[in-house]
Structure 1
Amino acid sequence: MEIHYIGESNSVLNTFIAEIRDKKIQKDSLRFRRNIERIGEILSYELSKSLSYLSVSVETPLATKNVQLPNNNLVLCSILRAGLPLHQGLLNYFDKAENAFISAYRHHPNNGEEFEIIVEYFASPEIENKTLLLADPMLATGQSLVAVYEAIKKYGTPKELHVVVVIGSRAGIEFIDKHFPENTHLWIAAIDEELNEKGYIVPGLGDAGDLAFGQKL
């Protein structure tokens, strides 16, 4: 897997990452969603540099100009519900892409720290031989992404696979590296070193879904 650590270089991305982490600013759910969206836009721009391009002739009012335009058949797939603001950021830049959505959540069968990932819902166009962008804001243990990818594979094999993440842990990155195809690309804004005993990223930011849309039962 090829890792593209966008936050490794200083840019305005730092501002949006800092704000989604800040527990005072987090209280504004509208701003939290918008910052995730803006991070998605930055990751989209960086990802776009790796796509295939085709020369296309464009007619202006004065003349004709050949320009290089992306030539991939993109499918954007986000994990519900936390992935929705990130999905919108991707869609702002890849507005001609097809869209897919899949649900995944942690189930604690004994109300303890151990959990399993339940995947229940998947709505998608044809993904066979297309470029799949799999978006999830938080890459903690990596189990959710692997469970989701295993479910998606039953419906076809994408030509290219790009995973788009806002914040990930080292352990989660290592986990998906073992389970995803070798030619997978990971586009990530920030990497944290630790997971706590419950499998949450430290320092992280908390539960992205709750911060974006309110606490769940």
Structure 2
Amino acid sequence: MIIHHLQEKNSILNKFIAEIRDVKIQKDSLRFRRNIERIGEVLGYELSKQLTYSVKDIETPLGNSQEQLISNSIVLCSILRAGLPLHQGLLNYFDDVENAFISAYRHHSNNDAEFEIVVEYFAAPSLNKKTLLLADPMLATGQSLVAVIEAIKKFGTPKEIHILTVIGSKEGIEFIKENFPKNTHLWIAAIDDELNSKGYIVPGLGDAGDLAFGAKL
């Protein structure tokens, strides 16, 4: 797996990460969603440098210009519900791509630390020979992403896979490295050292879905 850790170099991204972590600022759900969206824009910009380009003739009012434009056939897939603000940030830049959505959540059958990943819904175009952008804001154990990639195999085999996430754990990154193709790209804003006993990232930021959209039952 090819890892692109954006916070290895200081940039305005640091401000967005700091605000989504801050317990005072993150209580403003509108600002939280907007910051996740802005992080998606930064991730999308950096990702765009790795795509394939071809020349296209553009007619201007005064003549013609040859421009290098993305030629990949892209499908943007987000994991519901926490992935929606990140999806919007990516869509702000990749506005003409195809879209897919999948639900994946932790099911604690015994109300303890043990859980399984349940995938219940998937809507997508064909993924065959496409460039798949897989967006999930939190990469904790990595089990959700692995469950998702297994669930969508019947929709075709992507030509290439780019995972985009906001915060991930070292353990989760190692897990997906073992379960995704070697040429998969991981675009990640921040990497944290550990998981707690319940599989949540420390220091992390809490539950991204709840912070964006309110507590669930």
Alignment TM-score, normalising by the size of structure 2 = 0.99
* Cα deviation 1:41-95 (Å, max 9, x = unaligned): 0000000000000000111111111010000000000000000000000000000
Structure 1 counterpart SS, 2:57? strand
Question: Is 1:174 paired with 2:168?
Answer: no
* Cα deviation 1:95-131 (Å, max 9, x = unaligned): 0000000000000111111000000000001110000
- The within-5 A match list for 1:1-217 is 1-217=1-217
Q: Distance in 2 between matches of 1:119 and 1:69?
A: 35
Q: CA deviation at 1:17?
A: 0.2
Structure 1 counterpart SS, 2:125? coil
Q: CA deviation at 1:7?
A: 1.2
Q: Distance in 2 between matches of 1:34 and 1:74?
A: 24
Query: What RMSD in Å do the two structures reach over aligned CA positions?
Result: 0.4
Q: CA deviation at 1:155?
A: 1.5
Q: Distance in 1 between matches of 2:21 and 2:82?
A: 15
Alignment TM-score, normalising by the size of structure 1 = 0.99
Structure 1: 5+ residue stretches without partners: none
Moved over 4 A (4+): none
* Cα deviation 1:107-163 (Å, max 9, x = unaligned): 011111100000000000111000000000000000000000100112210001000
Q: Distance in 1 between matches of 2:43 and 2:7?
A: 10
Structure 2: 5+ residue stretches without partners: none
Q: Distance in 1 between matches of 2:57 and 2:69?
A: 10
Structure 2 counterpart SS, 1:114? coil
Q: CA deviation at 1:31?
A: 0.3
Structure 1 counterpart SS, 2:42? helix
CA contact (8 A) 2:163 2:187 kept: yes
CA contact (8 A) 2:125 2:155 kept: no
Q: Distance in 2 between matches of 1:157 and 1:28?
A: 40
* Cα deviation 1:4-53 (Å, max 9, x = unaligned): 00111000000000000000001100000000000000000000000000
Q: Distance in 2 between matches of 1:144 and 1:86?
A: 16
